[in-house]
Amino acid sequence: MTYSSVFISIIVAFLTSAFLCPIIIPVLKSFNVSQYVRSDGPESHLKKAGTPTMGGIVILVCSVGVNLFEINGSKEECLLIFTFLGFGAIGFLDDYIKVILKRSLGLTVLQKLILQSVVTLWFCYYYIVKMKEECEMLVPFTGGVKNGIYLSMSPVFFVVVVYIIMIGTVNGANFTDGLDGLASSVTLLIVVFFSINAIRLNSDMALSGVCVAGALMGFLLFNVHPASVFMGDTGSLALGGFVAAIAIELKMPLYIALVGVVYLAEVLSVIIQITYFRISGGKRFFKMAPLHHHFEKCGWKETTVVAVFSVITTIMCVVTILERN
């Protein structure tokens, strides 16, 4: 891996994504692949009905397509791409059922969890058995990727922790995808953070990271408010899987709680809302969940929520990336 290959990869991925979006959007419209809008959501979202979704296909195609030109066949990269595509396939299936077959619920919660568990457990098996990687995780703020303290654990406990982190991250990214440009912006920052750390370690995964970052930048041109296209579960699940996979392979999954604090907040808001609703006999802790909708209900503009969440993510990324290395 060289700096020139990193630069070329991100530029090519960006240009390819920016070129493909104007082609894919009319195709999605022609097949009536449009966004389903919740009737109980913010009133401002009603105008989003009819906006094409499943745009995550562009992110997947551009990221993987450009990466294949640079990939050297390392197990790290192959596992990363498999996880990215695996969760993307689950998202695509969910989107297909919802928008093509017109079954608004898509996959059931149990069906999603089973499919996500299959990809996650396969990831763990390949990582531990095939790659023979150490079951350890870098502890934040102990010296960075080169000099930090690594927490070692047994394979069984490691699998349990990785399972929770990966499933949580995937669904966190999914819950975050509710406002124009929110998931794209937040995930772009997170991917750049892990790509920089991959570059510091001279890991080939840096190329995969910058390809995803470039594809996200191109997609974001059409996903910012007012969005011309949404990524759908195809994109959000794939991106969540990618973030979790690259973090684990870099032995930095604990950092997701820091740089992915928005993901964490979105997941916790849903859990708190459901739990409180059940134990209180129908009352709501938040005005609406996930969290970004709560702020909308409080009177925040959609663009304000996206800006604040992106700034928070930026601050967390800068704070953690400035660790001594």
For the stretch 218-258, pLDDT in tens is: 999 999 999 999 999 999 999 999 999 999 999 999 999 99
Tokens 């990215």 sit on residue = 84
* pTM of the predicted protein model: 0.95
The letter for the amino acid at 63 is S
Stretch among 1-5, 177-181, 184-188, 205-209 having the lowest mean pLDDT:
1-5
Stretch among 43-52, 70-79, 110-119, 200-209 having the lowest mean pLDDT:
43-52
Contact criterion met (CB below 8 Å) for 238 and 183? no
How many CB atoms sit inside 10 A of residue 224's CB? 16
Question: CB within 8 A of 253, min separation 6: which ones?
Answer: 137, 161, 162, 165, 244, 247
Mean pLDDT, residues 10-29: 96
> Cα(267)–Cα(256) distance, rounded to whole angstroms?
13
How many CB atoms sit inside 10 A of residue 118's CB? 12
Write the pLDDT tens digit of every residue in 105-164: 789 999 999 999 999 999 999 999 999 999 999 999 998 877 889 999 999 999 999 999
Res 43: pLDDT: 61
> Cα(237)–Cα(95) distance, rounded to whole angstroms?
11
Q: Where are the alpha helices (DSSP H) in 177-284?
A: 182-200, 205-223, 232-249, 256-259, 261-279
Write the pLDDT tens digit of every residue in 168-198: 999 999 999 989 999 999 999 999 999 999 9
Question: CB within 8 A of 105, min separation 6: which ones?
Answer: 98
> Cα(192)–Cα(198) distance, rounded to whole angstroms?
10
Q: Is residue 26 reached through a cis peptide bond, with omega within 30 degrees of 0 on the bond before it?
A: no
232: left (phi over 0), alpha (psi -120 to 50) or beta: left
Res 182: pLDDT: 97
- In this predicted structure, the answer to whether residue 38 has a pLDDT above a threshold of 80 is no
Res 37: pLDDT: 64
> Cα(277)–Cα(283) distance, rounded to whole angstroms?
5
Q: How confident is the model at residue 46 (pLDDT cuts 50, 70, 90)?
A: low
Question: What are the residues facing 136 on neighbouring strands?
Answer: 152
The SS3 assignment for 103 reads: coil
Q: What percent of the chain has pLDDT over 90?
A: 79
Write the pLDDT tens digit of every residue in 257-312: 999 999 999 999 999 999 999 999 999 999 999 999 999 999 999 999 999 999 99
